[in-house]
Amino acid sequence: MARLLDPSCPLGTAHAERAAKSDARPTGRACPAGLRWERAHGSGALACAIGERARQTEAMTHENLLGGPEPTLLPADGPDAEARAALGAGDDARAAVRVAPAASIVWALLAEGALQDAGDPVAAYAYARTGYHRGLDALRRAGWRGRGPIPVDHEPNQGFLRSVLALAEAADAIGENDEAERCAQLLVDSGTSLDEVSGLR
């Protein structure tokens, strides 16, 4: 059976690929990326519907090209640097939290572990939300005003972005679809995607 992949999906290819592998997703089911999986009319194909959120993303990208907010780069000597040093010295994430509790990266690691190893999305949600808020605090101190690129290739930014991804996944797992969509859209608005941030793990 032929399947339709939407190459314009701003959240990366993984969602279209997952759609192509499954005939079982019901119409209107929300995925962590804030998309709806729809059965294409008459073809049985699954399409990735991006709708208004994609139009908002396109408008934001156009604005950046015309002189929107500058990329926000968290400082290299911030809390995440302390946490990475502790992790590099052999501490696990729980021990590193005591060294640098303001570091998003350790909360992201705890959230990822709760999701992947323990299968505990409730704990993952709490960890990820802590990392998310620690990251927001750091971004605001660095001049971020709630919009604009947060480059994923800048290592100090990665703890925050991984926390956002983990929060999207945990929210989806517990049925908080609106929060999952907001987090996925935040990654897009930050100039990255679920696929790109997931690749940091």
What is the chain's pLDDT, residue by residue, as a tens digit (201 residues)? 333 334 444 444 444 444 444 344 333 344 444 443 332 333 222 223 333 444 444 445 444 555 689 999 999 999 999 999 999 999 999 999 999 999 999 999 999 999 998 899 999 999 999 999 999 999 999 999 999 999 999 999 999 999 999 999 999 999 999 999 999 999 999 999 999 999 999
pLDDT at 20: 47
Closest to 167 (Cα-Cα) out of 85, 110, 117: 110
List all residues 6 or more positions away from 194 whose beta carbon is below 8 Å from its beta carbon.
11, 12, 14, 15, 32, 33, 165, 168, 184, 187
Whether the Cβ atoms of residue 78 and residue 161 lie closer than 8 Å to each other: no
Residue type, 129: R
List all residues 6 or more positions away from 51 whose beta carbon is below 8 Å from its beta carbon.
36
Q: What is the pTM of this model?
A: 0.71
Domain boundaries, the chain: 14-65, 79-198
Domain 79-198 = CATH 1.25.40: yes
Residue type, 48: C
pLDDT at 66: 53
